[in-house]
Amino acid sequence: MTVYEVATIALIFVLAAAATLAIYLGLLNWMGRFHVVHCSACHHLTTASTREPQASCPHCRHPLLLHPLHAVTHPDARVRVLTDSLRY
Protein backbone atom coordinates (compact mmCIF):
# COMPACT_ATOMS: atom_id res chain seq x y z
CA MET A 1 0.00 0.00 0.00
CA THR A 2 2.85 2.44 0.71
CA VAL A 3 4.19 2.05 -2.84
CA TYR A 4 0.91 3.39 -4.23
CA GLU A 5 0.95 6.28 -1.79
CA VAL A 6 4.50 7.25 -2.71
CA ALA A 7 3.71 6.94 -6.43
CA THR A 8 0.61 9.11 -5.99
CA ILE A 9 2.56 11.79 -4.12
CA ALA A 10 5.29 11.73 -6.78
CA LEU A 11 2.68 12.07 -9.56
CA ILE A 12 1.03 14.99 -7.75
CA PHE A 13 4.42 16.69 -7.36
CA VAL A 14 5.30 16.24 -11.05
CA LEU A 15 1.92 17.56 -12.22
CA ALA A 16 2.13 20.55 -9.87
CA ALA A 17 5.65 21.38 -11.09
CA ALA A 18 4.57 21.11 -14.74
CA ALA A 19 1.54 23.34 -14.13
CA THR A 20 3.68 25.94 -12.34
CA LEU A 21 6.22 25.92 -15.17
CA ALA A 22 3.43 26.35 -17.74
CA ILE A 23 2.05 29.33 -15.81
CA TYR A 24 5.48 31.01 -15.68
CA LEU A 25 6.11 30.38 -19.39
CA GLY A 26 2.70 31.86 -20.19
CA LEU A 27 3.53 34.94 -18.14
CA LEU A 28 6.88 35.28 -19.91
CA ASN A 29 5.02 35.06 -23.24
CA TRP A 30 2.72 37.89 -22.18
CA MET A 31 5.74 40.02 -21.31
CA GLY A 32 7.34 39.27 -24.69
CA ARG A 33 10.27 37.30 -23.27
CA PHE A 34 9.33 33.79 -24.46
CA HIS A 35 8.07 32.76 -27.91
CA VAL A 36 7.46 29.50 -29.74
CA VAL A 37 8.87 29.81 -33.27
CA HIS A 38 9.91 27.57 -36.17
CA CYS A 39 13.49 26.55 -36.81
CA SER A 40 14.78 27.89 -40.16
CA ALA A 41 16.61 24.68 -41.01
CA CYS A 42 14.12 21.92 -40.17
CA HIS A 43 10.82 23.68 -39.28
CA HIS A 44 10.59 22.04 -35.85
CA LEU A 45 8.93 24.19 -33.21
CA THR A 46 11.44 25.67 -30.79
CA THR A 47 11.56 28.41 -28.19
CA ALA A 48 13.18 31.82 -28.54
CA SER A 49 13.44 35.14 -26.80
CA THR A 50 12.40 36.98 -29.99
CA ARG A 51 9.70 36.35 -32.59
CA GLU A 52 12.29 35.68 -35.30
CA PRO A 53 12.88 32.09 -36.50
CA GLN A 54 15.93 30.44 -34.98
CA ALA A 55 18.83 29.49 -37.25
CA SER A 56 18.94 26.04 -35.66
CA CYS A 57 17.20 24.15 -32.89
CA PRO A 58 18.17 21.29 -30.54
CA HIS A 59 16.89 18.84 -33.17
CA CYS A 60 19.42 20.22 -35.66
CA ARG A 61 22.32 20.64 -33.24
CA HIS A 62 21.98 17.37 -31.30
CA PRO A 63 20.13 14.77 -33.40
CA LEU A 64 21.78 11.84 -31.65
CA LEU A 65 20.49 12.94 -28.24
CA LEU A 66 16.91 13.63 -29.30
CA HIS A 67 16.36 10.88 -31.89
CA PRO A 68 19.06 8.25 -31.25
CA LEU A 69 17.65 5.36 -33.30
CA HIS A 70 16.89 7.50 -36.35
CA ALA A 71 20.28 9.25 -36.17
CA VAL A 72 22.16 5.95 -35.97
CA THR A 73 20.27 4.35 -38.87
CA HIS A 74 20.35 7.51 -41.06
CA PRO A 75 23.77 9.15 -40.51
CA ASP A 76 23.54 11.33 -43.66
CA ALA A 77 20.03 12.69 -43.01
CA ARG A 78 20.72 16.14 -41.55
CA VAL A 79 17.34 17.86 -42.04
CA ARG A 80 14.44 15.68 -40.99
CA VAL A 81 11.28 17.78 -41.34
CA LEU A 82 10.78 20.31 -44.10
CA THR A 83 7.10 20.30 -44.99
CA ASP A 84 5.83 20.98 -41.48
CA SER A 85 4.12 24.28 -42.16
CA LEU A 86 2.32 26.05 -39.36
CA ARG A 87 -1.07 27.41 -40.44
CA TYR A 88 -3.14 29.76 -38.32
Segment 25-80, tens digit of pLDDT: 889 888 888 888 888 877 788 888 888 888 888 877 777 777 778 777 877 766 55
User: Is residue 10 classed exposed, middle or buried when 0-12, 13-18 and 19+ CB atoms within 10 A define those classes?
Assistant: exposed
pLDDT confidence bin for 10, thresholds 50/70/90? very high
Residue 59: name the closest of 47, 70, 67, 50 by CA: 67
Smallest CA-to-CA distance from 86 within 36, 29, 16, 35 is with 36
Q: Give residue 73's identity as a one-letter amino acid code.
A: T
pLDDT at 82: 54
45 or 87, higher pLDDT: 45
Count the residues in the chain: 88
